[in-house]
Amino acid sequence: MRAYLGALRLSPLFRGMEDEQILAVTECLGGQLRRCPKGGAILRAGQPATHLGVVLTGRVQVSRLKAGGQRVVMGEIRPGGLFAESFACAQAESLPVTAAALADTAALLLDCRRISSPCSAACGSHARLIANLLSVLAEKNLRLAGKVNHLSGRTIRERLLSYLEELSAQAGRSTVTVPFDRQALADYLCVDRSALSRTIGALQREGVLSVQRERFTLNHRQTEGGL
């Protein structure tokens, strides 16, 4: 695991820890290295929800299938980011989501059942990890609340602009890079891909957006905010 310390240092789960503390606490939690080729599943829906994952290399997309077969993208996770932590901490009977590799990926899986247990080898680090995990879960709840706000839009236009305006506000600039391709963005916003493409085209013609692949510029923010 020492070879992946660079990615582990990026993770909010290990915030405030020294390298040796990170290594000790990952061992305490039964850390498992999982390598997965592009397109493969690191965790599958239906598996027991016992482990959270930390992306070490590559990218992971978390999605779930609705009853009608529609795929809903929950998010894309990059090195240092966590996935499946909410379900594992809640001790859900099984995972309702699949975590799939968008590129050749390495991930660290940690057994959440060990998090609440005392650790004689790294007790200080263990306490720090618990505090960090609580912070991560709180931040994730805020992001999910934001997504609910986007999906409350009645039209594709409203959903897309709500999402882009949030990204723009977070970045402090009018041009943002969306961490999804078109299909994944459509899945994230729970809309049809073709209809989303038509909406993007209409917004470009109106001068509201300028788009280059995954880079979107909100032109009205430049006018209103001077960005």
pLDDT at 147: 83
Beta-ladder partners of 108 = 33, 54
Structural domain containing residue 201 = 153-225
pLDDT at 69: 78
**CATH number of the domain encompassing residue 200:** 1.10.10.10
Decide which of 144, 171, 203 is a domain's last residue: 144
Decide which of 122, 144, 166 is a domain's last residue: 144
pLDDT at 123: 59
pLDDT at 162: 94
pLDDT at 226: 38
Decide which of 84, 116, 144 is a domain's last residue: 144
pLDDT at 194: 95
Question: Are 66 and 116 in the same domain?
Answer: yes
What residues of the chain score a pLDDT lower than 50?
A: 222-227
Question: Are 118 and 193 in the same domain?
Answer: no
Question: Are 160 and 130 in the same domain?
Answer: no
Question: Are 208 and 102 in the same domain?
Answer: no
Cα distances (angstroms) measured from residue 182 to each of 74, 112, 162, 170: 14, 34, 16, 21
pLDDT at 227: 35
Short-list 173, 175, 178, CA closest to 160: 178
Beta-ladder partners of 175 = 217
Question: Are 140 and 188 in the same domain?
Answer: no
Distance CA 96, CA 45 (A): 5
Q: Which helix (H) or strand (E) holds 53?
A: strand 51-57
How remote is the C-alpha of 140 from its chain's centroid? Answer: 9
pLDDT at 180: 86
Total structural domains within the chain: 2
Enter the DSSP assignment of 146.
H
User: What is the share, in percent, of the chain residues with pLDDT greater than 90?
Assistant: 63
